[in-house]
Amino acid sequence: MTRMPALYLSHGAPPLADDAVWTRQLADWAAGLPRPRAILVVSAHWEAAPLTLGATEPVPLVYDFWGFPRHYYEVRYDAPGAPQLAEDVRKLLAAAGRPVHQDPARGLDHGAYVPLVEMYPEADVPVLQVSMPTLDPVELFELGRRLAPLRDQGVLILGSGFTTHNLREFDPSRGSDAPPPSWSAEFDEWADRAVADRDVDALLDFRHKAPAARIAHPRTEHFAPLFVTLGADADRPGESRAVIDGYWYGLAKRSFQLG
C-alpha cells in the first residue's frame, strides 16, 4: 500500500466555495495524491481533552459559524464514517497511555468539510475527525508521531487551520485579492522557510521565533494542526513543500504537503 503524505492546509471559511482559484487549487492537489483509504482530520475548530473521536457513522455537519447567508448552512457532505480508523487511532494512543473519548454525535465542522467538499466532492472516502486535546506544540507534535503509522495503512492525515489568522485585523472591505498586511506576509514567509528547512525547533517555538507571531495568531488554534502534521512526518521525513500559497483577504492560505 502506498504511504500517504501528511497535509496541513488553510481551510478558509464557508465562502471558500465561491473562490474559483482556491477551490481549483484544492481539487488539483487532491487529484495529484494517491487515493486515501480514509482521512483523519485535526481541525482548528475542535478542542477537547482528552482526545475525542468524532462520529463514526454519518451524522449532520457542525455549522460552527454565524451570520452567513442561509445557503452556507445547507451544505451537505455525507462521507462514510470510519469506524476501523477510529479503532486504529484508539489502539495507537492506548499503547502510549493516552486516554481517548468518543463523541458519536459530533459531525465534521467547517475546518473539515469546507476543504473536503473541494478535494473529494464525491464524499466517497471515509472521514474521521479527532479533537485537539491541547494547543501545546510539543504535545501535538508527539500526537502526530503516534498517529504516523496510519500513513502506511493508506490514511491521509490532514491538519486544517490557517497559516495566518487574526480576525480582529480582518478587513473584508479590502477585497479577497488585496495585498496582505505586513504582519501576515512576514509570518507567512517565515513559516514557508521553516517548513521547507524542517526547522522543527523553531516551528514549535514559533511564538518567540517567528516575526509578528502574536499578531498573526493572537490565539494559536489555527496554527496548531501543523504540529500534528509535522509529527506525523518526523520519523521518516519526506519532501516538504508548499502546495498552495497567496492570500485571502490578507490572510495567508499557504498549505503544505509532507512526504
What would the grid cell of residue 9 be? 492546509
Element (H, E) at 140: helix 137-147
Is the pLDDT reported for residue 177 higher than 90? no
Reported as a pLDDT band with limits 50, 70 and 90, residue 170 is confident
Q: What is the pTM of this model?
A: 0.96
Q: Taking a C-beta distance cutoff of 8 angstroms, is the pair 91, 149 a contact? A: no
Reported as a pLDDT band with limits 50, 70 and 90, residue 36 is very high
Give the pLDDT confidence score for residue 171 in this predicted structure: 77
Reported as a pLDDT band with limits 50, 70 and 90, residue 187 is very high
Burial class (CB in 10 A: 0-12, 13-18, 19+), 71: exposed
Domains identified in the chain and CATH numbers? 6-258 (3.40.830.10)
Is the pLDDT reported for residue 2 higher than 90? no
Residue bearing the bigger pLDDT, 175 or 76: 76
Give the pLDDT confidence score for residue 100 in this predicted structure: 97
What would the grid cell of residue 125 be? 472516502
Overall average pLDDT of the 155-161 stretch: 98
The tens digit of pLDDT for each residue in 199-248 reads 999 999 999 999 999 999 999 999 999 999 999 999 999 899 999 999 99
136-148 as b/e: b if 16+ CB within 10 A: ebebbbbbbbbbb
The residue whose grid cell reads 463514526 is 56
